[in-house]
Chains A and B, each alone.
Chain A
Amino acid sequence: MKKAIYIFSSGELKRKDNTLYLETEDRKNYIPVENTSEIYIFGEVNINKRFLEFASQNQIIIHFFNHYDYYVGSFYPREFLNSGYMILKQAEYYLDKEKRLTIAREFVRGAVKNILQVIRYYINRGKDLVKIDERIRELEGRIDDFNEIDELMAIEGNIRECYYSSFDKILQNQDFKFCKRTTRPPKNNLNSLISFGNSMIYTIVLSEIYKTHLDPRIGFLHATNFRRFTLNLDVAEIFKPIIVDRVILTLIGRKVITKDDFEQDSEGLIIKEKAKREFIKELEEKLSTTFKHRQIGKNVSYRRLIRLELYKLEKHLMGEQEYSAFVAGW
């Protein structure tokens, strides 16, 4: 199985003979190209065109993040799986308002169902979340009433706000108060972890989209404007609660990440490198966790589950099988 490579240090990343080579101040490292699916770059890394060509040949996506861990962009090699048919279908379902709404609603429904699954877990562990659970269910019941994408986005926002407020009750940790959702820059520790986790899942889904025939620029819930990738944002909604949020709650709960892992600089909060490494370690562990998939009859990992979700979407666009979002059963 190919692996994702994460680079936090600064240095130079280049092609050396027929493999990847990372040179930093204190280390020289060969990275086997055959084993690499994607590269995440957090550090100040120099690269050249020769390197990008090599990455492209080997179908390796490179995701860039800036000093504050904001997603900068991806080097998305020229599509290697290309189907004119699938792109037309994707466009057709985007342009037809009813068809687009059907898919967008299912993304929201899947996201909410998985949110409720996280909430239920903590209710079972004695957390006082019954009111929040009720409120979310009430909002969930209204998903079908809305016939505009904007309204769907708004209700999803409401649900998420309500859901995040449960984090205070789950964590009961003064160092990680939610207050309200803030981005660019996140105003507190918890918000910066949520932002970091969300950026990670967006790029992970993007990497999986690359291996399908879908065009990441045509999203259904998130409006397409062809300037950025949006389909990955759509699909990530489903997986945020059960992957990202569970990682965050685990790491804070186990005190693997504490308030000392953050520092304020002139422009915003920074997560220290050690905490980012811990985050990614936990995230990778989660992604590689497998369970038995009923239809396929084999064990699949969470990362694979994302790919399966994309396959389901392809089949919906082909008119073959109606898309129904993945809902965690536990």
Chain B
Amino acid sequence: MLLREGLKVLNEEINITGTLVWYYFICPRQVWLMSHNINPDEDDENVAIGRFLHQESYARERKEISFHGGKVDVLGTREGQLVIAEIKKSSKAERSAKMQLAFYLFELRKLGIEAKGELRYLEEKRKEQIVLDEQLTREVENAITRILKLMYEPVPPKPEKIRWCSNCAYREFCWA
């Protein structure tokens, strides 16, 4: 009985979100842990900083839409097309940011909504436009397949020391 209920819980929770796409390109291990609800250390201050940045940045301009794959900021429409944005502290994880936003565009397209994307890097005061062309679509599809496969692995990928480790809320979990 316990087992069956537990598995049900697991299955319901397996779906890909934009955040997981972001993390996948930083650290796949983190994706596995998060998708198994093994959350990072809540005491970690970087987690709190992130939350604050999200609340305070572009607060006037911003509206949010929530859908299956996450929550995305709406900037409005430009030339009759919806423009959505993803706000990041810096471009240190540019690939991650790009793929996350591309994933949102991809998910919106599945819902019949064509949108354009805009990445905003706060520290650099820089914007980048993202268009979901054929190539990027293929990359997103590819990423989704790989992330799903990863999530169904029985054990997480081994910890690897990368430059993100020093500020990661999983640091102690990984290296204990």
Contact = CB atoms under 8 A, between A and B. Distances in A.
Q: How large is the interface on A (under 10, 10 to 19, 20 to 34, 35 or more residues)?
A: 20 to 34
B69 interface: no
B49 interface: no
Interface string B88-104: 00000000000000000
Interface string B1-17: 01101110110010000
Contacts of A213: 37-39
Contacts of A4: none
B51 to A, nearest CB: 14
A322 to B, nearest CB: 12
**Residue from B6, B9, B13, B43 having most chain A Cβ neighbours under 10 A:** B6
A5 interface: no
A295 interface: yes
B52 interface: no
B39 A307 contact: no
Interface residues of B, number: 24
Contacts of A2: 43
Interface stretch (A86-94, A174-182, A244-252, A283-291): A86-94
Nearest to A296: B175
A211 B41 CA distance: 8
Given A84-B37, A85-B10, A91 B2 contact: yes
Contacts of A311: 172-173, 176
A318 B156 contact: yes
Given A84-B6, A87-B6, A295 B37 contact: no
8 contacts: A2-B43, A83-B37, A83-B38, A85-B9, A85-B37, A309-B176, A315-B173, A315-B176
